[in-house]
């Protein structure tokens, strides 16, 4: 599962950035209370990333199933060709402007427009 690997990699990067921001020197990390606080923050963040990611993916799967069920029951699940009504086709074909213009925009029958 790639999402968990990316999440853990980001966790490590952000944790190290947080350690660098909070500690003025490496000697502060040697203090047991500060090291324990950093370890506790890392453990909580690890738990949130691992279990939160699984929970988020499960929620996405449930919502995706609900949406696909709604889309299928509404008729959007399958594609179909769009067809113009025959009356519209004959009306468009009977328009004089489409018959008298060529591809380049010049008129084929100019005396009707003069």
**Domain range enclosing 40:** 2-74
Is residue 90 included in any domain, yes or no?
Answer: no
103 falls within a domain: no
112 domain residue, yes or no = no
Percent residues over pLDDT 90 in the chain: 7
Let me know if residue 21 belongs to a domain. Answer: yes
Residue 96 included in any domain: no
**Do 19 and 69 contact (CB within 8 A), yes or no?**
no
Report residue 71's pLDDT band, with 50, 70 and 90 as the boundaries.
Answer: confident
Asked if residues 16 and 22 have their Cβ atoms less than 8 Å apart, the reply is: no
- Per-residue confidence (pLDDT) for residue 77, from 0 to 100: 64
List pLDDT tens digits, range 77-91: 666 677 888 888 888
Q: What is the pLDDT, as a whole number, of residue 60?
A: 92
The total of structural domains in the chain comes to: 1
Give the confidence band of 114 by pLDDT, cuts at 50, 70, 90.
very low
> Is 51 among the domain residues?
yes
Which DSSP helix (H) or strand (E) runs through 99? Answer: helix 96-100
The C-alpha angle 47, 36, 14, rounded to 5 degrees, equals: 50
Whether 27 is in a domain gets the answer yes
Which phi and psi (to 5°) does residue 107 adopt?
-85, 145
The helix or strand, by DSSP H or E, that contains position 65, with its residue range, turns out to be helix 32-74
Residues 74, 52: Cα–Cα separation, whole Å: 33
Position 44 pLDDT exceeds 80: yes
61 pLDDT tier (thresholds 50, 70, 90): very high
Q: How far apart are CA 77 and CA 70, in angstroms?
A: 9
In a domain, 37, yes or no: yes
Distance set, CA 109 to CA 35, 65, 72, 93 (Å): 90, 59, 51, 17
């Amino acid at each position: 599962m790639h999402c968990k690997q990316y999440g853990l990699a980001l966790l490590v990067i952000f944790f190290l950035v947080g350690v660098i921001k909070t500690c003025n020197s490496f000697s502060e990390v040697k203090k047991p209370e500060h090291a324990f606080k950093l370890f506790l923050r890392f453990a909580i963040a690890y738990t949130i990333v691992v279990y939160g990611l699984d929970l988020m993916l499960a929620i996405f799967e449930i919502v995706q199933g609900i949406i696909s069920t709604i889309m299928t029951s509404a008729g959007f699940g399958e594609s179909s060709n769009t067809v113009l009504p025959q009356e519209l086709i004959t009306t468009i074909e009977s328009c004089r402007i489409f018959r008298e213009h060529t591809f380049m925009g010049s008129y084929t029958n100019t005396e009707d427009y003069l």
